[in-house]
A and B are shown apart, each in its own frame.
Chain A
Amino acid sequence: GDSVTQMEGPVTLSEEAFLTINCTYTATGYPSLFWYVQYPGEGLQLLLKATKADDKGSNKGFEATYRKETTSFHLEKGSVQVSDSAVYFCAQDLTNTGNQFYFGTGTSLTVIP
């Protein structure tokens, strides 16, 4: 069935390290893809999105490219900060076809000074 698989955490990085969080999706059709972030004690916030193949979403130094050929939407940031410590969720939206909205399991990131 349709789903989203993302890299298991937790991930611990030093400040200014490079971040990659892998995400792959399984869906027929062309879902919109999202990365959401959840800071401690808060609800989810949209980080970035892409709606079609080869689109690149970017925000706050984070980037992800919609790769149809590898069904992937990996999240990257060149230099993480302590303030990036949060849980990151990859998601695919199939509600425009009457299907569901799927979140990955979330990847916890801790950035240490």
Chain B
Amino acid sequence: DSGVTQTPKHLITATGQRVTLRCSPRSGDLSVYWYQQSLDQGLQFLIQYYNGEERAKGNILERFSAQQFPDLHSELNLSSLELGDSALYFCASSVGWGDIQYFGAGTRLSVL
């Protein structure tokens, strides 16, 4: 158990819908990272937050947004969903940046 909790484990929704994925980092970790893992794109870094502020941005679509709350949990919002958004979404946390990341078990999103 990495100590990083992601909910829900599975999500099935329809195209055009909006979903929210939630991540609780390990106790004491200030950084949260979001990744998308799909068969055709591999593992893609989406975004990183550190202590509530956006720290680094990767290949995150404009339809996607994230935030980190004062209690350090984070949410990834995916809107106007398309079939191609079906993927595993991982959250990871670390103490700071440049540190070891601990990954959650992921949320599997299926867009039908």
Q: Does A83 contact B (CB under 8 A)?
A: no
Q: Does B109 contact A (CB under 8 A)?
A: no
Q: Does B111 contact A (CB under 8 A)?
A: no
Contacts of B45 in A (CB 8 A): 100-103
Q: How far, in Å, is B22 (CB) from chain A's closest CB? A: 15
Selected contact of B43 from candidates A45, A51, A103, CB within 8 Å: A103
On whether A43 and B103 interact (CB within 8 A), knowing A101-B33, A103-B45, the answer reads: yes
Q: Does A28 contact B (CB under 8 A)?
A: no
CB <8 Å contact, B103 and A45? yes
Could you list 17 examples of A-B contacts with CB < 8 Å? Answer: A34-B100, A36-B103, A43-B4, A43-B90, A44-B90, A44-B92, A44-B103, A45-B2, A49-B100, A51-B98, A89-B43, A95-B48, A100-B57, A100-B58, A103-B42, A104-B42, A106-B42
Contacts of A100 in B (CB 8 A): 45, 56-58
Residue of A nearest to B44 (CB): A103
Nearest 7 A/B pairs, CB to CB: A43-B103, A103-B43, A96-B98, A95-B56, A44-B103, A100-B58, A101-B45
Selected contact of B56 from candidates A34, A49, A101, CB within 8 Å: A101
Q: Does A70 contact B (CB under 8 A)?
A: no
Mark B residues whose CB is within 8 Å of A.
2, 4, 33, 35, 42-45, 48, 55-58, 90, 92, 97-98, 100-106
Q: How far, in Å, is B75 (CB) from chain A's closest CB? A: 18
